[in-house]
Homo-oligomer: A and B are copies of this chain.
C-alpha cells in the first residue's frame, strides 16, 4: 500500500469519455411520461428547453460517451481532482478502517457541479445558444453555471430563491464576479413570478418557483435554453469523471474500496462517484457497497415512495419514476440547500431498487458534528451537503472499529463550505435542531402523487 496522503493524476489522465450506466443495467429504468397525457415522451418533447446533443445524452444507452476536447481542456483547470487518504481522521476516530476521499471542492466554483456546467455550456454554445437560464437554491449550481457560461462567452441568468439571495450575499457576489445576472425569485420578470408576488408580495420563494421562472424565461427567447444541475441522466453522466478518476487513484493507492459513500440531494454527486464503481461490478469486476447518505429532514430514499411524480412543484415537468416524498413536500429549515429536493434522480432510484446501492438518513446535528471533526483533522471545511457524506463515512469507520474490521471506505467530498459559514455559525450557536417529519405529514404529501395507470 502506498504511504502517501494524496493521490494525483496528470492532466493526460482526465477520462476521454463519460461512463453511462444505462449500458450495463440489466433492467432499463422506467419510461419518462408526459405531464398531460401520461404517455411516454420522446426527444421532441424536451427540445424547447434542451439542445439536441443534451437530449441525445439523456436517452443514450451507449456505455462510453466522448468528452469533447474543449470540455477536457477546461477540466484541466482543476481536474483530475485529488484523492486523499484521511490519515488524521482515521487517527482521530481510532479506527482500523482506511478512509479515502475525493476532493471535488478544488473546482474553482467550489463543488462537483462545475463538471456538468462546463459540458452543458459547451453543448449549448455549439448549438448556437446565446443565453443559458437556470435556478439555484444553495448557490453551488448557479456559481458553476455562471463560471461555465463566462468561459464559453454565453450570457447567464440565475433565478436564486429569494431567501438564499438575501441570506447568501457572498454566493451571489461570486456569481456576479463570474458575470452572471442574478435575480431574486419570485421576480416580476416572469408570469410565474408575478402570479406568486400577486398572492404574496413578501414570498421567500422556493426551488419549485425558481424552476418555473427559469423554464418559462428559457422558452420565451429563441436563443436561450434552460440548464439543470442534477436529477436528469445527462447531468449524472457528466459527473462520472469523479468515479472514473477515483478508480485510477485507488489503484495508485494500492487499495480498493469496500464501501463508497456520497450524499444525495438530486443525486448527481452520488451517481458521479459510485456509478463507475457499480459499472465495474456489473461488468464482472470487484463487488462493493454503494452508500447514499441523505438528510433525515428530506428523506426521499429512506422514507419516500418509489413512484411516478413531477420534478417540480408547479407540475410543468415530465413525470419520472423515482423515490419521492411528493412534489408538495416542504422540507423544514435545515442547512443543506443542495439536499432540499422532494425527489431523487430516476437513475439513482432505479439503481437502489435493483439492489445495487443502499441508503441511510442522517440527522443534521450529526452531519455538522462530522463536518467539524473532519475540518479539525483534515483542515478542509466541507459544504453542509458534503457533511452528510462525511457522517456516513464516519459511521462506517466506527462500525469497523466495533467489529475490528480493517475495511476501505471511500467518500466524495463534493464541495467546500466557504460560502456556507452561516450554517456553521448557527451550529456553534446551538441554533440548529434535528427534525424528522411525522409519518402523517409524509403520507399526506404522498397522497398527492399523480394517478398513473398501473401498467406504466
Contact = CB atoms under 8 A, between A and B. Distances in A.
A109 B176 CA distance: 24
A151 B375 CA distance: 10
B8 A8 contact: yes
Contacts of A11: 4-6
Contacts of A428: 173, 176-177
Nearest to A144: B379
Contacts of A174: 381, 421
A306 interface: no
Interface string A381-398: 100000000000000000
Interface in A403-426: 416, 418-419, 421-422, 424-425
A228 B6 CA distance: 30
Interface in A137-159: 147, 150-151
A177 to B, nearest CB: 5
A73 B375 CA distance: 17
Nearest to A84: B77
Nearest to A146: B376
The listed residue with most B CB atoms (<10 A of its CB), out of A8, A147, A169, A170, is A170
A88 interface: yes
A436 interface: no
A176 B421 CA distance: 11
A176 B151 CA distance: 36
Contact of A418 (B73, B78, B88, B418): B418
Contact of A77 (B78, B150, B379, B425): B379
Number of chain copies forming the complex:
2
Given A421-B169, A421-B170, A77 B177 contact: no
Contacts of A77: 5-6, 378-379
A106 interface: yes
Interface string A281-303: 00000000000000000000000
Given A173-B421, A177-B381, A376 B5 contact: no
Contacts of A418: 110, 170, 416, 418-419
Contacts of A150: 376
Contact of A10 (B8, B421, B425): B8
A8 B4 CA distance: 15
A76 interface: yes
A428 B173 CA distance: 8
Interface string A174-214: 10111100000000000000000000000000000000000
A108 B374 CA distance: 12
Interface residues of A, number: 42
Interface string A265-291: 000000000000000000000000000
Most B Cβ at <10 Å: residue of A178, A375, A379, A422: A379
A110 B109 CA distance: 14
Nearest to A88: B151
Contact of A108 (B170, B379, B421): B379
B170 A6 contact: no
A428 B178 CA distance: 12
A372 interface: yes
Given A11-B6, A151-B88, A421-B169, A178 B76 contact: no
Contacts of A76: 4-6
A381 B171 CA distance: 12
Contacts of A6: 11, 76-77
A380 B108 contact: yes
Given A4-B76, A5-B11, A5-B76, A375 B178 contact: yes
Given A147-B379, A376-B178, A378-B108, A173 B4 contact: no
A169 B425 contact: yes
A301 B170 CA distance: 33
Interface in A83-129: 88, 106-110
Contacts of A179: 376
7 contacts: A4-B76, A77-B379, A170-B422, A173-B428, A416-B418, A418-B418, A418-B419
Which 8 residue pairs of A and B lie closest in terms of their CB atoms, listed nearest first? A108-B379, A418-B418, A170-B421, A5-B76, A173-B421, A173-B425, A173-B424, A108-B380
Given A4-B11, A109-B379, 19 more contacts: A5-B11, A6-B76, A8-B10, A77-B378, A78-B379, A88-B151, A108-B378, A108-B380, A147-B379, A169-B421, A170-B170, A170-B421, A170-B422, A170-B425, A173-B421, A173-B428, A176-B424, A416-B418, A418-B418
